[in-house]
Amino acid sequence: MTITESTATDVASRDQLRLVIAGSVDDGKSTLVGRLLHDTKSILADQFEATLHASQGRGATEIDLALLTDGLRAEREQGITIDVAYRYFATPRRSFVLADTPGHVQYTRNTVTGASTADAAVVLVDVRGGVSAQTRRHAAVLSLLRVPHVVFAINKMDAVDWSEERFAQVADDVRDVAARVGLSTPEILPISALTGENVAAPGPDWYAGLSLLSVLEELPTRIADVDEPFRLPVQLVIRPRTTEHPDYRGLAGRVASGSLNVGDTVTAYPSGSSSVVVGIDGATGEQSRATVGDSVTVRLADELDVARGEVLATTVPIRTTQQLDAVLTWLDERPPTPRQRVLVKAGTKTTRAMLGVTQGVWNVDELCWQDSSAPLQLNDIGRVSVQLAEPVAVDDYADHRATGAFVVIDPDTGATLAAGLTGADLGALTTP
Amino acid sequence: MTTVIPTATDVSLRELEAEAIEIIREVVAEFDRPALLFSGGKDSAVLLHLARKAVWPAPLPITLLHVDTGHNLPEVLDFRDQVVAEGGHRLVVAEVEKWLADGRLTERPDGTRNPLQTVPLLDTIAEQRFDALLGGARRDEDRARAKERIFSVRDAFGSWDPRKQRPELWRIYNGRHAPGEHTRVFPISNWTELDVWRYIAAENVALPSIYYAHERPVFQRDGMWLTPGPWGGPRGSETLQTLSVRYRTVGDGSCTGAVESSAGTIAEVIEEISVSTLTERGATRADDRLSEAAMEDRKREGYF
């Protein structure tokens, strides 16, 4: 939160990176989160003192950084992290939203939640134990969810006297896991979250690369999405019918991928009707172009019968279907029942749906698909086909993260039952 | 130290704005009777500004709701009424005084009314049949708020159970709820105090005058500068002094303190909080000091 020595250029161009930190608690996750907050001066004096006070109240002699992040009564009482929390820190270059996920409780579900919105992930590996089952699981889930950048931080280097040889061994194992789950050329670097070396401070002499914080500052954000085909799920039709704006009619939504210019021809899916863009109204007024991430209202030359739930596209059409061949991560305590009736929300479209039988389960330890028709249990990842009551416009998740995801909702309780990815093929994850 | 007033090209601010507008549009599209919690404070002023943008050029289809403890500073209530009149909005005020008068609530021995807001809030949600409540809470305010979802379903008692929160995946928000339940929605969850002020500067959002430095008679209690008022004080050894102060948060006068300040403009305020070593709540909110988990306990009871 504290910015020092900023210049006008720094702040004006400062962007935002959404980050998730994976790895088990024992790998030093809480310490790293505390370290990042501390070294970017995002912990203010009263928070620090309250945390110190709470640590001392529990008999500790030094500050327990985990108490800084574990905010709930039950978490502090039991010394565990229950739920995903979000933290904020900033450097003069970039601001960060950090999804702080629990390491060992309900790991897949929480990692999926944190990873779904992340631009980048840091996977912690304890250099003493090397690659663990947790490392493989997290790498697989991050690959499955197509988090654009995955960084492996080999932690606790201070505990092995910054042994270059030991780092090289673990890095080789990490490269092997990354290749098996389809993460190409990941960044791998040595750190000590405890001492701060190579986090924000410089690393050892033998290490020529950047520190973790510098790596995170350098990662590109969403640039690739601008080159993807244009997609805009329609949230709302804005039609004021006021004396000032009697004829205004705009389609409001947030650009999910690609870009749109005034003069482009757009088609709405599933309805299939087309028109020309005559105006784009953004948050600061009329604009000639909208790109990924912008919340805008699009005005068209013709009055199309387009409603919430449709997706606007330009040159590359989006698929319209009533049958999703999908990969589900099951998030509920109760497994699905055969032909269970559910709701599917994809983008801004909610429709009634029915779950098919399981066609296979991803073994997160062996990193392979297993034949199984047993119902998915909590945290399971499986292939399931979903029959929809109405057509929806979707892309394969492998092609478009933003328009390829959906959630499964219990119509009675409203609970979110599963995270869904369209397309049964997980791409690189299917390699043995 | 250079302080910079951000411009419209500040990418991270525009990203936060776009996200908030997306969330507000989801509420307008999916709920029948949404309300926006408007106290006249800076976060709710920014939220209202964003809500107007989200539906522009249509009028705001959202009722404003204010829970008035009876201990608010007059400058803030004047600002609230002026905003409502100029914007042509519909405002519902739940006055804690009414609940005290008819016996539905009892004054606390310590005189603070902040914890008394919960019952009038829940009663009014039920009476008005509001199904979604937009609030200006931010996750950086408090450890318990850091755990809060953007869409948070509450039962008929308004209760928040952190163990039963729905996972929030991608940008697909699930506000589905049973009759009697309602959804609290926090579009500026991902903003920090500094983001809010940078946005106020970039968009020239109007605020009550007490956010900027002014002379005021104050007395010290528990290390905070309080204004004398109907909530009592100065008492005993507390003495009145006239100081140059401003407020970092706006709330119940019995527990919201002012900070000594000479920051009279937005730029000066940004400079001041950029170098402050205290969080806004640590500096000026007595109600969060009651226990290690004060905010969580109040949220569990249905507090906003």
CA–CA dist A429, A379 (Å, integer): 17
Characterize the bridge pairing of strands A295-300 and A259-261. unpaired
> What confidence category does residue B280 fall into, taking pLDDT thresholds of 50, 70 and 90?
low
pLDDT at A12: 47
Do the Cβ atoms of A242 and B57 come within 8 Å? yes
> What confidence category does residue A350 fall into, taking pLDDT thresholds of 50, 70 and 90?
very high
Do the Cβ atoms of A83 and B275 come within 8 Å? no
Task: Look at residue B203 and give its three-state secondary structure.
Answer: helix
pLDDT at A254: 97
The average confidence (pLDDT) of chain B is: 84
Close Cβ partners of B170 (under 8 Å, ≥ 6 residues apart): A116, A117, A401, A402, A405, A407
Are A307 and A347 in contact by the 8 Å Cβ rule? The answer is: no
Question: Does B3 score more than 50 pLDDT?
Answer: no
Are A245 and A231 in contact by the 8 Å Cβ rule? The answer is: no
pLDDT at B229: 79
Q: Once rounded to an integer, what is the mean pLDDT over residues B64-76?
A: 89
Of the candidates A164, A135, A166, A129, the one whose C-alpha atom is nearest the C-alpha of residue A150 is A135
Pairs of CB atoms within 8 A across A/B: 207
Domains of chain A by residue range:
16-221, 225-313, 319-422
Question: Does B131 score more than 60 pLDDT?
Answer: yes
Only one residue has tokens 């730029």, namely B267
Distance of residue B271 Cα from the nearest chain A Cα, in angstroms: 10
Question: Does A32 score more than 50 pLDDT?
Answer: yes
Question: Does A329 score more than 70 pLDDT?
Answer: yes
CA–CA dist A305, A349 (Å, integer): 16
Name the helix (H) or strand (E) containing B241.
Answer: strand B241-247
More confident: B286 or B241? B241
> What confidence category does residue A7 fall into, taking pLDDT thresholds of 50, 70 and 90?
very low
Do the Cβ atoms of A407 and B165 come within 8 Å? no
Closest in B2, B171, B282 to A7, CB measured: B2
pLDDT at B254: 72
Q: Once rounded to an integer, what is the mean pLDDT over residues B280-286?
A: 57
Same domain, B138 and B234: no
Distance of residue A104 Cα from the nearest chain B Cα, in angstroms: 15
Of the candidates B50, B62, B220, the one whose C-alpha atom is nearest the C-alpha of residue B133 is B62
Question: Does A2 score more than 50 pLDDT?
Answer: no
Closest in B7, B171, B297 to A12, CB measured: B7
Distance of residue A159 Cα from the nearest chain B Cα, in angstroms: 31
Q: How is residue A271 written in tokens?
A: 């309805």
Are B207 and B42 in contact by the 8 Å Cβ rule? The answer is: yes
Domains A225-313 and A319-422 share a fold: yes
pLDDT at A10: 41
pLDDT at A167: 97
* Chain A residues touching B285 at Cβ < 8 A: none
- B75 domain residue, yes or no: yes
**Count of the separate structural domains present in chain B:** 2
Distance of residue A230 Cα from the nearest chain B Cα, in angstroms: 17
Question: Does B297 score more than 80 pLDDT?
Answer: no
The structural architecture, per CATH, of the domain A225-313 is Beta Barrel (2.40)
- pLDDT tens digit string along A305-323? 899 999 999 989 999 999 9
Are B40 and B80 in contact by the 8 Å Cβ rule? The answer is: yes
Do the Cβ atoms of A12 and B54 come within 8 Å? no
- B273 domain residue, yes or no: yes
Out of 3.40.50.300, 1.10.10.10, 1.10.3720.10, 3.30.930.10, the CATH code matching A16-221 is 3.40.50.300
Single-letter residue type at B160: W
CATH code, domain with B184: 3.40.50.620
Same domain, B86 and B214: no
pLDDT at A1: 32
B78-86 long-range Cβ contacts below 8 angstroms, 24+ apart: B78/B208, B79/B40, B79/B206, B79/B207, B79/B208, B79/B209, B80/B38, B80/B39, B80/B40, B83/B38, B83/B40, B83/B45, B83/B48, B83/B206
Closest in B176, B189, B274 to A414, CB measured: B176
- B2 domain residue, yes or no: no
Closest in B10, B29, B193 to A12, CB measured: B10
Same domain, B34 and B173: yes
* Chain B residues touching A347 at Cβ < 8 A: 172
Q: Once rounded to an integer, what is the mean pLDDT over residues B280-287?
A: 56
Same domain, B166 and B281: no
Same domain, B185 and B223: no
Do the Cβ atoms of B147 and A71 come within 8 Å? yes
Of the candidates B162, B143, B270, B257, the one whose C-alpha atom is nearest the C-alpha of residue A48 is B143
- B204 domain residue, yes or no: yes
Same domain, B126 and B101: yes
Same domain, B250 and B208: yes
Q: Which residues make beta-bridge pairs with A296? A: A253
Name the helix (H) or strand (E) containing B29.
Answer: helix B11-30
Structural domain including B109 reads 8-192+293-301
Question: Does B204 score more than 50 pLDDT?
Answer: yes
Question: Does A256 score more than 90 pLDDT?
Answer: yes
Closest in B7, B19, B55 to A238, CB measured: B55
Q: Once rounded to an integer, what is the mean pLDDT over residues A332-356?
A: 94
B49: closest chain A residue by CA: A283
Question: Does A69 score more than 70 pLDDT?
Answer: no
* HEC secondary structure over chain A: CCCCCCCHHHHHHCEEEEEEEECCHHHCHHHHHHHHHHHCCCCCHHHHHHHHHHHHHCCCCCCCCHHHHCCCHHHHHHCCCCCCEEEEEECCCEEEEEEECCCCCCHHHHHHHHHHCCCEEEEEEECCCCCCHHHHHHHHHHHHCCCCEEEEEEECHHHHCCCHHHHHHHHHHHHHHHHHHCCCCCEEEECCCCCCECCCECCCCCCCCCCHHHHHHHCCCCHHHHHCCCEEECCEEECCCCCCCCCCCEEEEECCECEEECCCEEEEECCCCEEEEEEEEECCEEECEEECCCEEEEEECCCCCCCCCCEEECCCCCEEEEEEEEEEEECCCCCCCCCCEEEEEECCEEEEEEEEEEEEEEECCCCEEECCCCCCCCCCEEEEEEEEEEEEEECCCCCCCCCCEEEEECCCCCCEEEEEEECCCCHHHHCC
pLDDT at A346: 95
Q: Once rounded to an integer, what is the mean pLDDT over residues B225-233?
A: 79
* Chain B residues touching A74 at Cβ < 8 A: 162-163
pLDDT at A5: 36
Question: Does A30 score more than 90 pLDDT?
Answer: no
Question: Does A182 score more than 90 pLDDT?
Answer: no
Question: Best mutation site among A69, A95, A410 for testing chain B: the one with the most B CBs within 10 Å?
Answer: A95
Residue B234 preceded by cis peptide, ω within 30: yes
Please report the ipTM that was assigned to this predicted complex: 0.88
Same domain, B67 and B145: yes
Q: Once rounded to an integer, what is the mean pLDDT over residues A322-337?
A: 93
Phi, psi at A225, each rounded to 5°: -65, -25
Do the Cβ atoms of B7 and A74 come within 8 Å? no
pLDDT at B290: 43
Close Cβ partners of B64 (under 8 Å, ≥ 6 residues apart): B35, B36, B37, B38, B48, B84, B89, B90, B91, B92
* Chain A residues touching B11 at Cβ < 8 A: 13-16
Do the Cβ atoms of B22 and A47 come within 8 Å? no
Which of A135-144, A145-154, B108-117, B223-232: highest mean pLDDT? Answer: A145-154
Number of C-alpha atoms within 13 angstroms, CB side, residue A344?
A: 30
- B3 domain residue, yes or no: no
Question: Best mutation site among B9, B17, B19, B25 for testing chain A: the one with the most A CBs within 10 Å?
Answer: B25
More confident: A40 or B202? B202
Question: Does A393 score more than 70 pLDDT?
Answer: yes
Lowest mean pLDDT segment, chosen from A194-208, A211-225, A368-382: A211-225
Do the Cβ atoms of B26 and A7 come within 8 Å? no
Closest in B12, B140, B174 to A345, CB measured: B174
* Chain A residues touching B58 at Cβ < 8 A: 238-240, 242, 245, 248
B11: closest chain A residue by CA: A15
| Cα→Cα distances B184→A395, B18, B72, B227, Å | 31, 19, 24, 32
Question: Does A427 score more than 60 pLDDT?
Answer: no
The average confidence (pLDDT) of chain A is: 86
Q: Could you tell me the sign of the dihedral formed by the alpha carbons of A298, A302, A307, A313, in that order?
A: negative
pLDDT at B285: 54
Same domain, B106 and B150: yes
Same domain, B173 and B267: no
Are A324 and A405 in contact by the 8 Å Cβ rule? The answer is: no
- pLDDT tens digit string along A116-155? 989 999 999 999 999 988 888 889 889 888 898 999 999 9
Q: Once rounded to an integer, what is the mean pLDDT over residues A369-380?
A: 88
- Exposure b/e, B237-248, CB count within 10 A at least 16 = b: eeeeeebebbbb
Closest in B4, B15, B162 to A72, CB measured: B162
Same domain, B69 and B140: yes
Question: Does B23 score more than 80 pLDDT?
Answer: yes
Are A235 and B22 in contact by the 8 Å Cβ rule? The answer is: yes
Closest in A15, A46, A240 to B58, CB measured: A240
Same domain, B139 and B18: yes
B142: closest chain A residue by CA: A71
- pLDDT tens digit string along A395-414? 999 888 889 999 999 999 89
Question: Does B298 score more than 90 pLDDT?
Answer: no
Question: Does A432 score more than 50 pLDDT?
Answer: no
Distance of residue B290 Cα from the nearest chain A Cα, in angstroms: 12
- B1 domain residue, yes or no: no
* Chain A residues touching B55 at Cβ < 8 A: 236, 238, 252
Do the Cβ atoms of B54 and A252 come within 8 Å? yes
Query: Could you count the other beta carbons within 10 Å of the beta carbon of residue B205?
Result: 17
Do the Cβ atoms of A83 and B165 come within 8 Å? yes
Lowest mean pLDDT segment, chosen from B33-42, B125-134, B271-280: B271-280
Lowest mean pLDDT segment, chosen from A234-248, A343-357, B69-83, B159-173: B159-173
Which CATH code fits A319-422? Answer: 2.40.30.10
